[in-house]
Amino acid sequence: MSRRALITGITGQDGSYMAEHLLSQGYQVWGLIRGQANPRKSRVSKLAADLNFVNGDLLDQASLVSAVDKIQPDEVYNLGAISFVPMSWEQAELVTEVNGMGVLRMLEAIRMVSGLSISSRPPASGQIRFYQASSSEMFGKVMETPQCETTTFHPRSPYGVAKAYGHYITRNYRESFGVYGVSGMLFNHESPRRGAEFVTRKISLAVAQIKLGLQEKLHLGNLDAVRDWGFAGDYVRAMHLMLQQDVADDYVVGTGQMNSVRDAVRIAFECVGLNWEDHVVIDPKLVRPAEVETLCADSGLARKVLGWEPTVTFDELMRMMVEADLQQATRERQFDDLSLTGAW
Ligand code: NDP
Ligand code: GDR
């Protein structure tokens, strides 16, 4: 019988790639859907006819118990979160509820459905395996470069603090109840499916618009911020591999390559033969109250134990995103031109 997986955050970037990856591995895949008419459900359901959905919300304990009980998954991937860091200064309590307490609620759902307690340890096999989407934002103000599994956390936003809670509670349920729970400390990963609010996609969308003459300027904040950016399709493979190990452990995942926002802008504009300095405007309102200046992953453990390697360089990633947005913008402009001329 095929294995069953439950994904929270299925309508997001990672959830969609994860669903595709698991379907390609022969899994039955269920996505947790929030809200009574989630507009992003139809987008992800177009990926594959055989995706299944279940209603639920990381804010609602009973809905998670019900979903886990109904599906009886072999693996749970907890990718649901409010993932845009600046939102966490504006709605700190909500972000903490979803990104921190939501992890506890999902672990509790697994514990209850599995009948685990302090006095009742799980069987060696057949238990539900749990993946938590931890983040390099937990490292924040970095204590050492590159960052590995033992690097001290110093989160710089309510988002990072909530993720640190989710990280530690996952480890604690592993130690307290024997839950097979792992945290992937993933560094920034992007794709043409990235939300438009994140800097790489904001850049690729703007470059496409500027190239077609539909926009003139791109407003950005801190160009000096340095990140370790990879391709989301590579990172869901790492998540899956983490749950296939005999012993649950936590892993850092990133490329080990550092690039600045300025590098991202330069590469993206070069893709369409434009000079970024003619178009980028610095807007102090976009600078964060407490910035994470530099991040770089030491993924030695993931490479050694999981055999994981990234396949897409930063240049290739930016090019992939710009080309996708240029194609989309060109299609939309043709559509607009046709409707203006009444050609159909
Ligand atoms: P997205 O922002 O693209 O997706 C977030 C998902 O979370 C959406 O499907 C959203 O669903 C869902 N969600 C939001 N609130 C709730 C809730 N209350 N209950 C259930 N689901 C909810 O994020 P990514 O795909 O980029 O990231 C996936 C996970 O990985 C997140 O936890 C993120 O914090 C973490 N992460 C991401 C990294 C990256 O670089 N992408 C790096 C490190 C960690 P809805 O349609 O209902 O809004
Ligand atoms: P990040 O991603 O906060 O690292 O979190 P984001 O792309 O938002 O920012 C990266 C860096 O770019 C700088 N920056 C700008 N960022 C945005 N969004 N918009 C701008 O105009 C802009 N100008 C400069 C930022 O200051 C920052 O330094 C992502 C999310 O996916 C998290 O959920 C995840 O946990 C981490 O990556 C790892």
Three-state DSSP string of 189-257: EECCCCCCCCHHHHHHHHHHHHHCCCCCCEEECCCCCEECCEEHHHHHHHHHHHCCCCCCCCEEECCCC
What does the alpha-carbon distance between residue 14 and residue 113 come to, in Å, rounded to a whole number? 26
User: pTM of the predicted model, to two decimals?
Assistant: 0.97
What does the alpha-carbon distance between residue 235 and residue 254 come to, in Å, rounded to a whole number? 8
Q: With 0-12 CB in 10 A as exposed, 13-18 as middle and 19+ as buried, what is 119?
A: exposed
Would the ipTM clear 0.95, i.e. be above it?
yes
Contacts of 337 (CB under 8 A, 6+ apart): 343
* β-sheet bridge partners, residue 78: 8, 132
Could you tell me if the CB of 222 is within 6 A of ligand 2? yes
The full set of domain ranges for the chain reads 4-191+231-253, 199-226+258-295+312-341
Could you tell me if the CB of 54 is within 6 A of ligand 1? no
What does the alpha-carbon distance between residue 173 and residue 170 come to, in Å, rounded to a whole number? 5
Read off φ and ψ for residue 238, nearest 5 degrees: -65, -40
- Region 265-289 average pLDDT: 97
Bridge-based pairing state of the strands 75-78 and 4-8: parallel
What does the alpha-carbon distance between residue 260 and residue 91 come to, in Å, rounded to a whole number? 27
The number of the ligand nearest the C-alpha atom of 14 reads 1
Half-sphere exposure of 11 (CA within 13 A, CB side): 18
Q: What is the pLDDT of residue 265?
A: 98
15 C-alpha to ligand 1 centroid (Å): 8
Over residues 58-97, the pLDDT tens digits come to: 999 999 999 999 999 999 999 999 999 999 999 999 999 9
Q: What is the mean pLDDT of the chain?
A: 95
DSSP 277: G
Q: What is the pLDDT of residue 94?
A: 98
Q: What is the pLDDT of residue 341?
A: 58
Among 3.40.50.720, 3.40.1260.10, 3.20.20.140, 3.40.50.10420, name the CATH number for the domain at 4-191+231-253: 3.40.50.720
Over residues 121-155, the pLDDT tens digits come to: 777 677 999 999 999 999 999 989 999 999 999 99
CA distance readout (Å), 226 to 193, 283, 337: 22, 18, 40
Q: Could you tell me the two tokens for 150?
A: 């033992």
Half-sphere exposure of 230 (CA within 13 A, CB side): 25
197 C-alpha to ligand 1 centroid (Å): 13
Q: What is the pLDDT of residue 339?
A: 63
> Does position 274 have pLDDT exceeding 50, yes or no?
yes
What does the alpha-carbon distance between residue 92 and residue 162 come to, in Å, rounded to a whole number? 9
Among 3.30.300.90, 3.40.50.300, 3.90.25.10, 3.40.109.10, name the CATH number for the domain at 199-226+258-295+312-341: 3.90.25.10
Could you tell me if the CB of 103 is within 6 A of ligand 1? no
User: Is 256 within 8 Å of 298 (Cβ atoms)?
Assistant: yes
Q: What is the pLDDT of residue 126?
A: 76
291 C-alpha to ligand 2 centroid (Å): 9
Q: What is the pLDDT of residue 54?
A: 98
Catalytic residues: 135, 137, 159
Could you tell me if the CB of 227 is within 6 A of ligand 2? yes
User: Is 172 within 8 Å of 164 (Cβ atoms)?
Assistant: no
Could you tell me if the CB of 82 is within 6 A of ligand 1? yes
If one counts every other C-beta atom within 10 angstroms of the C-beta of residue 342, the result is 6
* Cis peptide leading into residue 146 (ω within 30°): yes
Over residues 292-341, the pLDDT tens digits come to: 999 999 999 999 999 999 999 999 999 999 999 999 999 988 777 666 55
What does the alpha-carbon distance between residue 25 and residue 246 come to, in Å, rounded to a whole number? 19
Nearest ligand 1 atom to the CA of 84 is 2
Half-sphere exposure of 34 (CA within 13 A, CB side): 16
Please name the helix (run of DSSP H) or strand (run of DSSP E) that holds residue 129, with its range, or none: strand 129-135
Over residues 293-304, the pLDDT tens digits come to: 999 999 999 999
Band (pLDDT 50/70/90 cuts) for residue 213 is: very high
What does the alpha-carbon distance between residue 83 and residue 329 come to, in Å, rounded to a whole number? 26
Choice among 40-49, 177-186, 193-202, 289-298 with the minimum mean pLDDT: 40-49
> Distance between alpha carbon 23 and the CA centroid of its chain, in Å?
19
Q: What is the pLDDT of residue 344?
A: 45
Please name the helix (run of DSSP H) or strand (run of DSSP E) that holds residue 41, with its range, or none: helix 39-45
CA distance readout (Å), 273 to 84, 173, 262: 30, 52, 16
Q: What is the pLDDT of residue 119?
A: 80
